[in-house]
Amino acid sequence: MQVSPTLAVLNHATDLIARGFDVVDFGPGEPDFATPSNVAEAGKSAIDRGFTKYTNASGTRALREAIAARYNKRYGTSLTHEHTIAGNGGKQELFNLMLSMVDKGDEVIIPSPYWVSFPDQVAFAGGKPVFAPALESNRFRITLADVERVATDRTRGIILNSPCNPSGAVIAESELRGIIEWAVGRDMFVVYDETYELFVYDGAHHASAIQWFEEYPESIVVVNSMSKTFAMTGWRLGYAVAHPDLIAAMAKIQGHSTSNPSSIAQAAALEALRGAEIDVQTMYDAYVARRGWLVPAINEIDGIHCEPPDGAFYIFPNVSGAYGKGSIRDSQSFATYLLDEARVAVVPGSAFGADDYVRISYATSMERIREGVKRIDAALAKLG
Ligand SMILES: Cc1ncc(COP(=O)(O)O)c(C=O)c1O
């Protein structure tokens, strides 16, 4: 495994910020909001009452039941705690999953652009990531035809992420059903990462693969997280829902590696899952307003084009119109130019397997978004 060289530009940005430079940071993949106060209080109270010991390695029964209950309530499933596992972020559950499911030489389909950790996790487990390009002309929404095209007799599974980081694309419900039925018919597993589930816009509808779980319990795995929905990135709490046999396999790996996620984070997550989602609505409203301003403003800039993304809190504009100007020849040199010239940090699309684009996170204040767009416009105008 390697640290992606394309992320070097972000390290450079962090370094500049630490040295006191005024950088508009469009890099972060995390909410700029505080954890809701009732959730934070539940964490503090866990410390005060001494809930600070080891728990069951897969998470407390109460938390696992709350995860199951949230799905049962929203989707009418009959999940129990045995269908769930809580770990140190959705990332850990994805990792456990790959180690449980992927054998040497297995191919796993990953739509691209993709979240950076998917390919490395597959490769770490000995598998081979196989990319299925999702087209910009279809607003990066993956289709059954896109994934069918890259399947071989070695394909063992597929990892879907909707809403997608980095493109924001939301998979249409009918397409999701088609992909699941196709995959099940080929005896493949389907991992469905819905970390950004609540952040969908303009009437886009988030369908969850859990809707088909009871039909195909041995094939579908859903991964979710407290990180983005409840602004809890630093608490490190994510979870997976799957067949109890698979959960047991994942639990073995977790039990011998990190054991339980922090008891304090578990107490906070329990409060978040059981409580009202008022703060989530406030965050959502802010994302709607920022996205509503940002997308048209970015499209005003020469050399940049961006379709309105369905979800998440990123835009993924095509910047290839600027390639060939000055020192810019690809997404990395584009990002480097913006950082050097305008003190604006964006993530090169090459990190996500799509070199004509950059990722801009709008998980930052409207004021900083306006300032950043102004700077990008001025820096690109200089190139003529
Ligand atoms: C698509 C996707 N999946 C999973 C994760 C993992 O989040 P965490 O480990 O914080 O739960 C992230 C975080 O950026 C993500 O973007």
Mean local confidence (pLDDT), 202-207: 95
Q: What is the pLDDT of residue 28?
A: 86
Q: Which residues of 289-325 are buried (b: 16+ CB within 10 A; e: fewer)?
A: ebbeebbebbeebebbbbbbbbbbbbbbbbbbebeee
Are residues 26 and 372 in contact, defined by beta-carbon separation less than 8 angstroms?
yes
Ligand 1 and 96: CB distance under 6 A:
no
Q: What is the pLDDT of residue 293?
A: 98
Q: How many CB atoms lie within 10 A of CB 132?
A: 19
Handedness of CA 313, 125, 143, 77 (dihedral sign): negative
Give the three-state DSSP class for 66. Answer: helix
Question: Does residue 116 surpass a pLDDT of 70?
Answer: yes
Out of 7, 85, 91, mutate this one to test ligand 1's pocket (max ligand atoms within 8 Å of CB): namely 91
Ligand 1 and 89: CB distance under 6 A:
yes
358 pairs with which residues across the strands? Answer: 348
Out of 112, 167, 227, 237, mutate this one to test ligand 1's pocket (max ligand atoms within 8 Å of CB): namely 227
Q: Which atom of ligand 1 is nearest to the CA of 30?
A: 14
Residue 13: both structure tokens together: 């940005």
Question: Does residue 77 surpass a pLDDT of 70?
Answer: yes
Question: Does residue 5 surpass a pLDDT of 70?
Answer: no
Atom 8, ligand 1: residue with shortest CA distance: 89
Please, which residues have CB within 8 angstroms of residue 126's CB and are 6 or more apart in sequence? 102, 103, 104, 105, 106
**Rounded-to-integer distance, Cα 163 and Cα 115, Å:** 11
**Rounded-to-integer distance, Cα 144 and Cα 62, Å:** 38
**Rounded-to-integer distance, Cα 142 and Cα 162, Å:** 10
Q: What is the pLDDT of residue 279?
A: 85
Identify the H or E element spanning 296: helix 278-299
Q: What is the pLDDT of residue 223?
A: 98
157 pairs with which residues across the strands? Answer: 108, 189
Q: What is the pLDDT of residue 70?
A: 96
Question: Does residue 275 surpass a pLDDT of 90?
Answer: no
Q: What is the pLDDT of residue 6?
A: 64
Identify the H or E element spanning 315: strand 314-315
Ligand 1 and 224: CB distance under 6 A:
no
Mean pLDDT, the chain, rounded, equals: 96
Q: Which atom of ligand 1 is nearest to the CA of 90?
A: 11
Ligand 1 and 331: CB distance under 6 A:
no
pLDDT, tens digit, 9 for 90 and up, residues 214-273? 999 999 999 999 999 999 999 999 999 999 999 999 999 999 999 999 999 999 999 999
**Rounded-to-integer distance, Cα 370 and Cα 197, Å:** 27
pLDDT, tens digit, 9 for 90 and up, residues 297-343? 999 999 999 999 999 999 999 999 999 999 999 999 999 999 999 99
Global confidence as pTM:
0.97
230 Cα: distance to centroid of ligand 1 (angstroms) = 13
How deeply is 228 buried, as exposed, middle or buried, from its count of CB atoms within 10 A (0-12, 13-18, 19+)? buried
| Residue (of 248, 241, 196, 266) closest to 77 by Cα position | 241
DSSP state, 85?
E
> Rg of the chain over CA atoms, in angstroms?
21
pLDDT, tens digit, 9 for 90 and up, residues 13-67? 989 999 999 999 999 889 999 999 999 999 999 999 999 999 999 999 999 999 9
Percent of the chain residues past pLDDT 90, beyond the cut: 94
